[in-house]
Structure 1
Amino acid sequence: MFIPAVKNHYQELITLFAELYKYPDEQVTEEVMNGTAEQEMHRGFVSCSLPVTTRLSLQQLITAENNVQKQFMTAFSGLSKPFSPPVESLYKPWSTDADAPKQLAKKRGYYMGDSALHMNHLLSCYGFGVPEEFKMMPDHLVIELEFYAFLLGEDTRMAVTFYNEHLDWIKDFEKEMNKLGGVPFYQEVTRRLRNLLSIHPLEIINGEE
């Protein structure tokens, strides 16, 4: 059973992963390069009683020729194909709405599907807006992880619902990521995220009782 402090470590880890799926700015790049991100992640996993099963540290997965910015662009930007943006709508049927265009409804790979519309609704209900860069993809992994971390602290019942409804696509995302070449950093980050999300929120919530 988890002790109460573990929830804080879990929330911090979720937030750290959210940062790693944003375009890497100078600070994030430095923290990856100097090992700070690896150390924080390792401490968090240990605190959550999760095994750290990795042969290479994050900083060992980037080079001067294939730095973290280049890997980000390769993995997510679409400037080269294949690529795998971390956006929920792309990995699920576009819509289950009976009025949705039939040629799109059951297809995958399209933005602004049901999950995006639901994220817009949820964020609005809790008083959040969507940053401009994510306006056309409110179900981006960055937004979902940040919102999940918030819910764990503020609304545990909704955190469970959100986990079940909006974080069930990560395995499919990981499979697509593993098909890409030249992005070992993001493949490892995604593998670790999937491992972290194997902890159901009820385990954390019940550990506080």
Structure 2
Amino acid sequence: MISIFGKWNRAEKSIKEFSIKEVATIILCFLMGIAFSYLSLYFFLEEFYLLFFNVGDFIYVKENSGRLFSVLFVFGWGYFSLAFFQRLVGYQSDLSIKKMTKSFIIAAVVFVVGVIPVNLAVQSNLALKGYSYCNWFTGASFRAPDVWLKDESLCLQSGSLIRSDIDDFFEQHNQSGTSPTLTELKTFIADVKQAREGYISGKR
């Protein structure tokens, strides 16, 4: 069988010779490959659309430029899924495994080499669009997205411990296309902290 994926050769062992557990594992890996391919493409498109189409429209931006590289891993996961599909229908998967390994290696190398310059380019573009980096609203985790604000005065240290609530607060304003005042943000932070303290006191 010849396809755009190369020549397919029949495997020595057919699906009929597999145990139920082996078949279930193959199907699970096949579906997992499809799921990860979809997620890799989804993360890329979501970040690409935010940085190149929505940037400038929002007052609050969560930037994770590393997601732009997720599209590179679509091919590796695609070959991963193809390999298990070939096993399922009775064909050898050696070539797909080799292509999968090569794709992942290339994607990893491109990511390592390109992540810093791409991140710097994205940050420079955000700064040119009038955004300021907000350290207090950015999570401590390396994987946490960087937070940028159109109004630098809204980056308050007092909101650093309620980042999820701050995120919801700004997302609502992003959706409505409005910009909160400093007083509104301070009031929101005070109300959330008071509510949390009341909840903790009530549990005690």
* Alignment TM-score > 0.5, same fold: no
Higher relative contact order (CA 8 A, sep 6+): 1
Between Structure 1 and Structure 2, the one with more strand by share is 2
Q: Bigger radius of gyration, 1 or 2?
A: 2
